[in-house]
Amino acid sequence: MSTARKILWNVVSQVLGKLGIALLSLVSIKILTVYLGTKGYGDYTMIYEFLAFFGVIADLGLFTIAVREMSRDETQTPIIIGNVLSMRTFLSIIAMLMAIISVWLIPAYQGSLVPMGVTIAAITVWLSLINGSLTSILQVHLKMQYASWTMFVGKIVSVLYMLFVIFIAYKNPSGTSFIHLIFAGNIGNLVMVVYTWYYASKLAKIRHRFDWYVWKNVLIASVPYGIALVLNTVYFRINSIFISFIRGNEEVGLYGVAMRILEAISIVPLYFMNAVLPVLTRAIKEGSDKYQKIIQYSFEFLTMASWPLVAGGYVLSYPLIFIISKPEFMSRVSDGFYGSDSALRILLFASLFSFINILFQFIIIAVGKQTKLFWVSLIAVIANVIINLYSVPRFGFRGAALTSVICEFVMTCGLFYLSHKYLSYHFKYWATIKAALSAIVMGIIIKLLFAPLYSVIQNWSVFVLIVLGGAIYVGLLLVTKTLTKDMLQMLRKTDKQPGMVE
């Protein structure tokens, strides 16, 4: 199997697995929004938004740096993973304790379920961080189908527990049932870690190591990137904090539904570039021009994937939100009420920039200049705070959504400049332009088809239109030759065939 096919299968397996997880997530959003309402779901969302700030501190960029270092010398995998596992375990315990102590001291959360929810959900985040360390082994060996499987199984367990709580144990919402819904994440993530450990241990010997020389070298490489990730999380997550303090958790709930969809979309570029990183790192290290092809194909894949999500999601935002929530989350423009669907339309444009941002970030990491990411992230955070202070009091969660678009654009400009500064490469844009036009045509067609289908099956027509829209878009890519013969032939080549991207 060619390296290109390995990368593709690695990405496809992850995306298919994540698609299953995304569908289960939509189920969980549906049952949670119906069961808890906007205020209860706002509290639920706020718990994980709060923990995200501390979780990224524990992450510290260790996953990406571990993948890069193991890709450079796979014989060092047991040493690197053993030390990274120890570092992440130590950092995650400290970070989660900080989160628990902090949330109980914040006056705005006193008398609510948020502090107890954070205390319980901290275990979920801790298990997720440990799982991420183990997953880096699977990533280096391009065996991420196992990681997708374990996450899928873990999510099934979580959703089943939620269903038990809502439909059997506590049919009416209460403080106790809310805590059980948080606890569902602990059970699911524990199952996920056990399975991931099993598969990863087949590829490398796993045990905690405390080689201080390795700790020093890894931390020197990861801390600057980790700080950039912290800042990145701040500008991505702080919107919910602003909304919570200024407008209340009910609007956090409305914003949170749209954000969950955006997060499901954002895994596509991240998984793809995680799969590409080992190959890109080796190509740059060898000093060959293969990295130019890798970057070009990555750019084309990411843009081809992002355009239809934006065009289709914009047209189908209302029925999408209807399917995964309930009427109180929907816009009623005649009454002057804007719901989660209006936030989704805005946030989709932020995802368009975030797809490309991931590529630039990983180019910078591959050349070992991750320390430079700090400044771009810092500028984005400052911009986010300034704009949110103006937009959230006036426009609520819609202002926060627009802030995300602006900050993603700022990130795009900064990361594009940095990546070009440290690595010479160039893009061919014709395929991207054709993909954008194909997505627009697809969006127009499904917009025209929505009304007649709605008269028959109402908002449930979204499922038909998603499948139909996907088929139309792929067909247009083939007709316009955006998907070229070279791309298709590359995926059929074996390692012995010349001319492939390695």
Is the predicted pLDDT of residue 426 greater than 50, yes or no?
A: yes
pLDDT at 323: 83
Compute the C-alpha angle 176/131/109, nearest 5°: 35
Flag whether 7 is in a domain.
Answer: yes
Flag whether 328 is in a domain.
Answer: yes
Percent of the chain exceeding pLDDT 90 equals 17
pLDDT at 500: 33
- Over residues 149-156, the mean pLDDT reads 87
Residue 498's pLDDT band, with cuts at 50, 70 and 90, is: very low
Flag whether 496 is in a domain.
Answer: no
Q: Which has the closest alpha carbon to 51: 237, 329, 197, 308?
A: 237
Residue type at position 267: I
Q: What is the DSSP letter of 10?
A: H
Flag whether 500 is in a domain.
Answer: no
Longest dimension (CA), the chain: 67
Flag whether 501 is in a domain.
Answer: no
SS3 142: coil
Flag whether 498 is in a domain.
Answer: no
Question: Which has more pLDDT, 144 or 410?
Answer: 410
Q: How far apart are CA 388 and CA 410, in angstroms?
A: 15
Range with top average pLDDT, 15-29, 364-378, 486-500: 364-378
Q: Which has the closest alpha carbon to 266: 340, 152, 339, 350?
A: 350
How big is the chain by its Cα radius of gyration, in Å?
22
What does the mean pLDDT of the chain come to?
A: 81
Residue type at position 54: F
* pTM listed for this prediction: 0.69
Convert the pLDDT of each residue in 386-423 to its tens digit.
998 899 898 888 999 999 899 889 889 999 998 888 88
Is the predicted pLDDT of residue 360 greater than 80, yes or no?
A: yes
Convert the pLDDT of each residue in 298-313 to its tens digit.
898 888 888 998 999 8
- Over residues 113-137, the mean pLDDT reads 87
- Over residues 15-23, the mean pLDDT reads 69
Q: How far apart are CA 202 and CA 31, in angstroms?
A: 38
Q: Which residue has the tokens 């995304």?
A: 22
Is the predicted pLDDT of residue 9 greater than 60, yes or no?
A: no
8 A C-beta contact, residue 329 and residue 340: yes
Flag whether 222 is in a domain.
Answer: yes
8 A C-beta contact, residue 459 and residue 318: yes
8 A C-beta contact, residue 259 and residue 237: no
- Over residues 423-434, the mean pLDDT reads 86
Flag whether 59 is in a domain.
Answer: yes
Is the predicted pLDDT of residue 275 greater than 80, yes or no?
A: no
- Over residues 200-222, the mean pLDDT reads 76
Convert the pLDDT of each residue in 55-113 to its tens digit.
777 777 666 676 666 666 667 767 777 787 788 888 888 889 999 999 999 888 888 88
Residue type at position 179: I
What is the per-residue DSSP string for 282-317? HHHHHT-THHHHHHHHHHHHHHHHHHHHHHHHHHTH
pLDDT at 12: 60
8 A C-beta contact, residue 319 and residue 43: no
Range with top average pLDDT, 48-62, 65-79, 283-297, 378-392: 378-392
Residue 182's pLDDT band, with cuts at 50, 70 and 90, is: very high
pLDDT at 117: 93
8 A C-beta contact, residue 358 and residue 298: no
Please tell me the total count of domains within the chain: 1
- Over residues 184-201, the mean pLDDT reads 89
Q: How far apart are CA 176 and CA 240, in angstroms?
A: 25
Domain carrying residue 346: 3-490
pLDDT at 110: 83
